[in-house]
């Protein structure tokens, strides 16, 4: 499958530690997917660094926020109040109810509620289903290269939303906007998933843009192209 070949090339060109991660919204599970309870942010890490595939459902997603941001279930009023209280009093990510509201109202992403029964997350090099998104667990340098490769053909600047949960930034925003996004991994994810490194972040893109990234690799110095002129040639003398 072409996306599996893409995964191998991207891993080599970018020198990734692990595999790019495929995310597919599906009404049938992947045959190689685990059914165990998991945090969405943990599934991203396990897929990238450990080669694990997960068939995530409303029942197996062990985070209320993750259930919403993956579109697996809409929170009832009691659950919504619990999440709000946790963000304000538990994580202390919001100062008050008004700040919590603004964060939701002004955010770019629309959770894909009811889109599918399963959200399949796994290493792209082994992914059975055509992915809807591709996530790169990477360093800032690797993300910089991906930003350049993703904008090389069109020149359209990346419009990232950085203030979101890990699953919101990695899945909800790129899925609902059709644009790449970058998430620095929220502090709760970093505390809950011990394997994440301080240097890790996630660059996430809709799969339909990956072909443009692949075609740009041999043409762009963020890929494998050599510079056509030196910096000294364009310096003001």
What are the residue ranges spanned by the domains of the chain? 2-223
For 72, half-sphere exposure in the C-beta direction (CA atoms, 13 angstrom radius) is 24
The pLDDT-based confidence of 108 (bands split at 50, 70, 90) is confident
Q: What is the pLDDT of residues 111-165, one digit of tens each?
A: 999 999 999 999 999 999 999 999 999 999 999 999 999 999 999 999 888 888 9
Angle between helices 2-14 and 140-152 (to 10 degrees): 130
Q: Has this prediction a pTM greater than 0.75?
A: yes
Token pair 């943990």 is found at 42
Residue 185, sorted as left (phi over 0), alpha (psi -120 to 50) or beta, turns out to be left
Please give the DSSP secondary-structure letter assigned to residue 34: B
Cβ within 8 Å of residue 99, ≥6 positions away: none
Alpha helix (H) ranges present in 2-139? 2-14, 40-50, 64-69, 77-85, 97-105
């Amino acid at each position: 499958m072409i996306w599996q070949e893409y995964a191998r090339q991207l891993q080599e060109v970018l020198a990734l530690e692990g595999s790019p991660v495929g995310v597919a919204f599906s009404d049938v599970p992947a045959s190689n997917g685990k059914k165990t309870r998991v945090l969405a942010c943990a599934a991203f890490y396990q897929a990238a660094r450990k080669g694990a595939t997960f068939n995530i459902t409303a029942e197996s997603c062990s985070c209320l926020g993750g259930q919403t941001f993956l579109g697996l279930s809409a929170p009832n009023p009691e659950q919504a109040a619990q999440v709000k209280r946790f963000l304000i009093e538990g994580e202390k990510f919001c100062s008050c109810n008004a700040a919590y509201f603004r964060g939701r109202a002004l955010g770019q992403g629309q959770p894909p509620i009811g889109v599918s029964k399963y959200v399949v997350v796994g290493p792209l090099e082994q992914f059975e289903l055509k992915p809807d998104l591709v996530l790169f667990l990477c360093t800032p340098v690797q993300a910089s290269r991906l930003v350049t490769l993703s904008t090389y053909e069109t020149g359209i600047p990346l419009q990232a939303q950085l203030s979101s949960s890990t699953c919101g930034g990695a899945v909800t925003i790129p899925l609902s906007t059709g644009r790449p996004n970058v998430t620095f991994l929220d502090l709760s994810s970093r505390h809950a998933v011990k394997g994440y490194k301080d240097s890790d972040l996630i660059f996430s893109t809709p799969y339909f843009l990956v072909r443009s990234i692949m075609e740009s690799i041999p043409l762009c110095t963020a890929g494998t192209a050599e510079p056509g002129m030196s910096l000294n040639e364009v310096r003001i003398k």
